[in-house]
Amino acid sequence: MADLYRLLPEEMEQLVIDMGYPRYRADQILLPLYYKFPKDINDIPQLPKKLREELTEAGYTIGSAKEVHRVVSNNGDVTKLLLDLTDENSVETVLMQYAPSKIGGHPRSTICVSTQIGCAMGCVFCATGQMGFETNLKAEHIVSQVIHFADILQQQGEHVTNLVFMGMGEPMANYDEMIRAVRILTHDRGFGLGQRHITISTIGITSGIDKLAEENLQVGLAISLHSPNNELRKKLVPTATPNSVEEIIEAGRRYYKKTGRRVTFEYALMAGINDSSEIAEELSILLKGNGSHVNLIPINPTAGDFKSPTQDNVDEFERILSDAGVNCTVRVEKGTEISAACGQLRTDIVG
């Protein structure tokens, strides 16, 4: 079976031409796919019946994610779904909604998508990492997560504004499928999301960072740092290389030089582990003057034995970085009470 959500617009065009139909038939498929969200090829009535039949006979389908379970945060601004993407694989995907930041502004709807089920990186503070690795998701499975929420938002009179590859899995460990999904989702004849509205997060796979820099994409890059020194980082990220801190800082510099896009370093603050003033000073020395941004993330409770830092410690950590001239913000976590916040995703719900 071949999923139409896997095809780039140019590939869709070639498909209809190879089947003996004029080029414009491709747009008669693409427009409904990304704006009407059909569940079946026969839900595209503008296509000739003969073409719909031939596509079906050739094994083409419209892969739609089946919603198994839905949970919504207390204030309604975070929705976590468990989606069946195939007969065997279920994955968690999260929608975060934000009110307009200014009068007359527009609401923001960010989808946090998964690229794998489970994760092989083994981060000790991450629920997904504690699952172990199960499988990579195909590009069409990644796209289907976005389409499912886009359909929900459209019924609310809203639309997807941002996309973050920060769900289950390590995007760089499923590089080719992740990039294919990005190109489909940003293509002006596909989903049409602006490249600058997408952020790809990685634990620091430098080969993937360098490949991404060569893709001629204007997407954001977020690198999970979590420690200013290799000894501590290795304890938190068991798969890290012996010199991972220096390697990912340098990879970030290369990415910025090639793309002109500022790199964000994500730093999960854990009480008594990496939230001290001394470590903040060490981090400020490491990052001072390199033009990057630090996103401080007070850790959420997971299956691991980690606790959130006190607000005083968070404030002091931020002050030390800011005083050193390091641009930083503290992430306001959303969806913690429904296990939808950073580091909490794991498919432990049975529909």
The reply to whether 92 belongs to the active site is: yes
- In sequence order, what are the residues at sequence separation of 6 or more whose Cβ sits closer than 8 angstroms to the Cβ of residue 301? 307, 308, 336
Residues 166 and 123: beta-carbon distance below 8 Å: no
Question: Residue holding tokens 């620091």?
Answer: 204
Q: At what angle do helices 175-186 and 139-155 cross, to 10 degrees?
A: 40
**How far is Cα 258 from Cα 255, in angstroms, rounded to an integer?**
5
Q: Considering the candidates 119, 123, 328, 342, report the single residue annotated as catalytic.
A: 342
CA distances to 21, 37, 38, 142, 146 from 42, rounded to whole Å, are 17, 12, 8, 23, 22
Residues 202 and 151: beta-carbon distance below 8 Å: no
The reply to whether 112 belongs to the active site is: no
**How far is Cα 335 from Cα 330, in angstroms, rounded to an integer?**
16
Q: Considering the candidates 92, 140, 170, 318, report the single residue annotated as catalytic.
A: 92
CA distances to 58, 218, 267 from 131, rounded to whole Å, are 37, 32, 21
Query: Does residue 116 sit in helix, strand or coil?
Result: strand
- The 3-class secondary structure across 256-311, one letter per residue, is HHHHCCCEEEEEEECCCCCCCHHHHHHHHHHHCCCCCEEEEEECCCCCCCCCCCCH
Burial 254-279 (b: 16+ CB within 10 A, else e): ebbeebebebbbbbbbbbebbbeeeb
**How far is Cα 300 from Cα 114, in angstroms, rounded to an integer?**
19
CA distances to 112, 118, 281, 300 from 336, rounded to whole Å, are 14, 19, 29, 7
Residues with a catalytic annotation lie at 92, 342
